[in-house]
Structure 1
Amino acid sequence: MRVFNVSTLHQHFGQIYPVAFNWIISAEGEKKSNHAADRGGETLYGFSRRAYPNLDFSALTLDKAKRIYYRDYWRVCRCDELPNVLAIAVFDAAVNHGIFLAIEMLQRAIKTKPDGIIGPITLAAIDNHNYNDLLTLYLARRGRKYARIVMNDLSQSVFLLGWMHRLTKLQFAIYQAANRFSWQGWQSRFAA
């Protein structure tokens, strides 16, 4: 797996996006896939034919993927304005569930109006929570969403273990990044 040099990417995308992008590529993979049960159809770097019908997969490079993710997910979700640990989790959810649902699940976790838009009310409500606790609650909501997908369509059960594994690995990767980069405010309120 190729991983971008984080210090070089900071010049173009800020401090957190390179970490988040590396996570997405590790979670989504760099190879083309076309699982029969995958509703998105053919997929490359996490982009599906269903979501990107006009994207030329034969010309899609990792660099282009990085720019598309930044434009279509990171910026739309206003991840630069979120606490670091939540920025990565919301970005991952937007890629995996869609932007509206990723934001709506966050808003439900912080008990604000679930309108799927990150605005000043959502940002203020986030600041009233312990980020670690909020991250755990947000990921639990995502796990519940996966379970509901399978309950509504048993053909998707083939993906359930992988989806749950993704959430566990994501939380661990976020905590590793928080320690590595000394992000403030992510520890549990009960930490020593």
Structure 2
Amino acid sequence: MAFKEALQKVLQLEGGLRLHRNPTEDSITYAGIYRKAHPDWQGWAYIDRGKEPPFELVEDFYYSNFYKPFEQVKDEKVRDLLFETAVNLGIRQTVRLAQRVLGVPTDGILGPQTLSAINGASPEEFIKDFTLTRIAFYAALANKNPRKYALYLRGWINRALEALSWVSLAS
């Protein structure tokens, strides 16, 4: 699926183009963009004036921050899965999970060795193993800090399985 189609699916998971506050977070989120983590996003100026930001700002944000780093991943399904995961976990953690699956050093950097390993892996095997590793990561996170993360665990697992269904069904 192309970036714009993948973005639509990610935005569905992020609750759409709406403003909200998660119970364990200190700031607001719009279209999955957390203000505390991304205070310089240009869309906040619109929101502060009570207006909806132009969709292009949302699109540019997701492309630049989460999709573009994975553009050299040859398999579209793998690229889309890494993009969606990065939106939820960040680029470095997503790359670390991929590196664990691939058996390369886990430094969180998408360098030539990691990129070569991703592109050389069987997409079907990588997608399966990555999804299982991702779910195990979520479970470990919730077990480590249940007060903060236990309430998100079911949603995180459902999100991982939903992403798996997208890339498994994609042609």
Correspondence for 1:67: 60
Q: Which runs of 5+ in 2 are unaligned?
A: none
Correspondence for 2:39: 53
Correspondence for 2:161: 168
Number of residue pairs the alignment of both structures matches: 162
Displacement, 1:148?
A: 1.5
Q: 1:166 to 1:40 in 2, by over 3 A?
A: farther
Q: Residues 40 and 51 of structure 1 are in contact (CA less than 8 Å); yes or no, is this contact kept in structure 2?
A: no
Correspondence for 2:135: 143
1:159 aligns with 2:138: no
Q: Which has the higher helix share?
A: 2
1:22 aligns with 2:15: no
Q: Residues 101 and 130 of structure 2 are in contact (CA less than 8 Å); yes or no, is this contact kept in structure 1?
A: yes
Q: Which runs of 5+ in 1 are unaligned?
A: 1-14, 180-192
Correspondence for 2:80: 88
Q: Residues 79 and 91 of structure 1 are in contact (CA less than 8 Å); yes or no, is this contact kept in structure 2?
A: no
Correspondence for 1:182: none
Moved more, 15-24 or 147-156: 15-24
Q: Residues 77 and 123 of structure 2 are in contact (CA less than 8 Å); yes or no, is this contact kept in structure 1?
A: yes
Q: Name the CA distance, whole Å, in 1 between partners of 2:36 and 2:93.
A: 17
Pick aligned residue for 1:32 from 19, 34, 37? 19
Q: Name the CA distance, whole Å, in 2 between partners of 1:148 and 1:159.
A: 12
For normalisation by structure 2, the TM-score amounts to: 0.86
Displacement, 1:159?
A: 1.0
What percent of counterpart residues are identical?
22
**Which residue type is aligned with residue 138 of structure 2?**
Y
Tell me the secondary structure at the aligned position of residue 127 of structure 1.
helix
Q: Residues 40 and 49 of structure 1 are in contact (CA less than 8 Å); yes or no, is this contact kept in structure 2?
A: no
